[in-house]
């Protein structure tokens, strides 16, 4: 029996393993029947110590499409932690009932604690503002499907680059591929943190900052949008002044490449206007679909089935 | 180096002057069952003034804690009044149960039973990161 594997941070997976997951997901898309019973009698526990409907639905759908079952809870208030039970006790208990665990927790590092105590594989489904590796896998799968390759791309990252964990881990994942350039599109207040900038420089990755979305668009292969949250600003005026420079509108796509794709981790508020949805370059709902397939592949991989 | 008074034990040399007591407490030497001497502000040819701690007894000390505190300290292992080994300290790769993570969003902030642990992320700048939340340890002012 091989060693128990977990997914806590995207860097827990090598580039080869990510390629492997993507090829499983591709095969699931091509041959769904071959997978619909593959996890029969297997159980996924979704332990959501804070609510996240989207992520939980994606994991649930993934396990159901593999023919497995799902159990769990989706708020600490209704579970044992409200009675003061520790993460490790909860995880030891859940290991008795399930074959694999997807865990979301408001505290950073909670899934790492869980992995140290679990008897079954643990997937980090988000720990506070820290890691969210299955979102990153979703992003990579989407880029792979839409662009054919994970190398030689100019990727625009727009919005909140300071607190946006999805952006940080996408950067961490993408710098392992060849020919990646980044264009950072954010207000000064929400610039990429210095440690991420240092990492880009240390890896010799080409990147630049552009303060206006419209200006950046023509050279991009991928435009990754994120939410600019009001609570990140000291005052309302700053927020109102800045947010419009980072909203994507239909007419701005006129100068974009025909095969550029627009991505967003969802939920969006108003950073992509709804008239963009009908454009063939809009890939954010497709991204949600890819999230299900790559989670199916991940479950199979961690269970040692594929 | 003067190892007088130690038959079998440890002599910690080149402790920064004035830090002897702190090291004594960090290593828990108040709890050991043998003779311990702190010699303060000794004139040293190489370093100006320094502190020295002499432990006369077969005790184990945590070299990780010592290395984290100051890698310039030298550890002399004594047996039968002879210097048998001189240890030069280096920054430990991990520190378990020594530093405390102060990130309020870290899991260790709500679960007291979890042992705090740090790993050496940047040896040049002596930067340690929490194994749970990755935040950098900042010394208390
Ligand atoms: Zn921490």
Question: What residues pack around ion ligand 1 (CB closer than 5 A)?
Answer: B 101, 103, 106, 130, 132-133
pLDDT tens-digit map of A120-172: 999 999 998 899 999 999 999 999 999 998 999 999 999 999 988 899 999 99
Residues of chain B neighbouring A87 (CB-CB closer than 8 A)? 107, 111
CA-derived radius of gyration, chain A: 20
| pLDDT at position A238 | 79
- Residue position matching structure tokens 């800045």: A242
Residues of chain A neighbouring B110 (CB-CB closer than 8 A)? 107
Model pTM? Answer: 0.89
Q: Name the residue with higher pLDDT: A52 or B141.
A: A52
| pLDDT at position A80 | 56
- Please calculate the CA angle A222-A163-A273 and round it to the nearest 5 degrees: 50
Please name each of the domains of chain A with its CATH number.
10-133+291-303 (3.40.50.1370), 135-288 (3.40.50.1370)
| pLDDT at position B140 | 65
pLDDT > 60? residue A104? yes
Element (H, E) at A65: helix A53-65
ipTM of the complex: 0.87
Share of chain A above pLDDT 70, in %: 96
pLDDT > 70? residue A118? yes
CA-derived radius of gyration, chain B: 17
| pLDDT at position B1 | 61
Contact check, Cβ <8 Å, B105/A107: yes
User: Average model confidence (pLDDT) for chain A?
Assistant: 93
* Separation of alpha carbons A15 and A38, rounded Å: 25
- Please calculate the CA angle B48-B53-B58 and round it to the nearest 5 degrees: 150
Identify whether the C-beta of residue A113 lies closer than 8 Å to the C-beta of residue A119.
Answer: no
Residues of chain B neighbouring A106 (CB-CB closer than 8 A)? 105
- Please calculate the CA angle A70-A72-A75 and round it to the nearest 5 degrees: 140
| pLDDT at position A142 | 98
Please name each of the domains of chain B with its CATH number.
9-88 (3.30.70.140), 94-130 (no CATH)
pLDDT > 70? residue A82? no
């Amino acid at each position: 029996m091989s060693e128990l594997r977990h997914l806590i941070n995207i860097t827990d997976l090598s580039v080869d393993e990510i390629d492997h997951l993507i090829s499983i997901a591709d095969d699931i898309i091509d041959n769904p029947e071959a997978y619909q019973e593959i996890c029969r009698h297997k159980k996924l526990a979704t332990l959501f110590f804070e609510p996240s409907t989207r992520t939980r639905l994606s994991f649930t759908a993934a396990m159901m499409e593999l023919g497995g079952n799902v159990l769990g809870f989706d708020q600490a208030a209704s579970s044992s932690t409200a009675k003061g039970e520790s993460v490790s006790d909860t995880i030891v208990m859940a290991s008795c009932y399930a074959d694999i665990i997807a865990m979301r927790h408001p505290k950073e590092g909670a899934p790492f604690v869980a992995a140290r105590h679990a008897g079954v594989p643990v997937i980090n489904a988000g720990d506070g503002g820290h890691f969210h590796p299955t979102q990153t896998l979703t992003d990579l799968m989407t880029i792979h499907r839409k662009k054919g390759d994970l190398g030689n791309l100019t990727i625009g990252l727009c919005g909140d680059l300071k607190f946006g964990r999805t952006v940080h881990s996408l950067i961490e994942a993408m710098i392992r591929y060849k020919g990646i350039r980044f264009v950072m599109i954010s207000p000064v207040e929400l610039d990429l943190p210095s440690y991420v900038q240092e990492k880009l420089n240390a890896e010799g990755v080409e990147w630049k900052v552009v303060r206006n979305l419209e200006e950046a668009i023509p050279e991009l292969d991928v435009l990754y949008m994120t939410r600019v949250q009001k609570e990140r600003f000291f005052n309302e005026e700053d927020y109102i002044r800045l947010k419009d420079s980072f909203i994507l509108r239909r007419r701005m796509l006129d100068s974009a490449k025909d095969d550029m794709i627009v991505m967003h981790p969802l939920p969006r508020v108003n950073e992509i206007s709804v008239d963009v949805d009908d454009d063939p370059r809009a890939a954010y709902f497709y991204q949600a679909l890819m999230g299900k397939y790559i989670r199916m592949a991940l479950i199979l991989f961690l269970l040692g089935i594929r | 180096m003067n190892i007088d008074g130690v038959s079998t034990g440890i002599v910690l040399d080149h402790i920064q002057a004035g830090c002897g007591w702190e090291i004594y407490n960090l290593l828990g030497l108040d709890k050991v069952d043998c003779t311990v001497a702190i010699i303060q502000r000794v004139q040293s040819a190489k370093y100006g003034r320094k502190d020295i701690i002499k432990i006369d007894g077969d005790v184990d000390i945590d070299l990780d804690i010592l290395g984290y505190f100051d890698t310039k300290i030298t550890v002399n292992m004594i047996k039968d009044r002879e210097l048998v080994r001189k240890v030069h300290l280096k920054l430990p790769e991990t520190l378990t149960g020594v530093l405390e993570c102060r990130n309020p969003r870290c899991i260790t902030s709500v679960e007291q039973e979890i042992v705090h642990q740090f790993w050496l992320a940047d040896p040049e700048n002596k930067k340690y990161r929490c194994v749970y939340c990755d935040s950098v340890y900042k010394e208390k002012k």
